Amino acid sequence: VAAQADTRYTGTFRGRAEEVRQVRREIADYLGGCPVTDDIMLIASEIAANAILHTQSRGSTFTVRSTLAHS
């Protein structure tokens, strides 16, 4: 059985539209050369935009958390 290494990322952002760009940047840095980086960046961008538009995060903050597991 192969050991599994976990890497976690947590970032807290202001609930403003310009923070979506920062979310993408930080997720890209977190994932490095992972083959699915572009897909995960798109997903994180959508989640961030939805948090800003549709929750009480607008004008406050929201947190993005991710765990990357290698097997």
- Spatial separation of the C-alpha atoms in residues 69 and 3, rounded to whole Å: 10
Q: How far is CA 3 from the centre of its chain?
A: 25
> Which residue pairs from 55-62 have beta carbons closer than 8 angstroms and sit at least 24 positions apart in sequence?
57/15, 58/15, 58/16, 59/15, 59/16, 60/14, 60/15, 61/12, 61/13, 61/14, 61/15, 62/12, 62/13, 62/15
Instruction: Give the predicted TM-score (pTM) of the model.
Output: 0.82
pLDDT tens column, 50-70: 999 999 998 899 999 988 876
Instruction: Output the pLDDT for position 67.
Output: 87
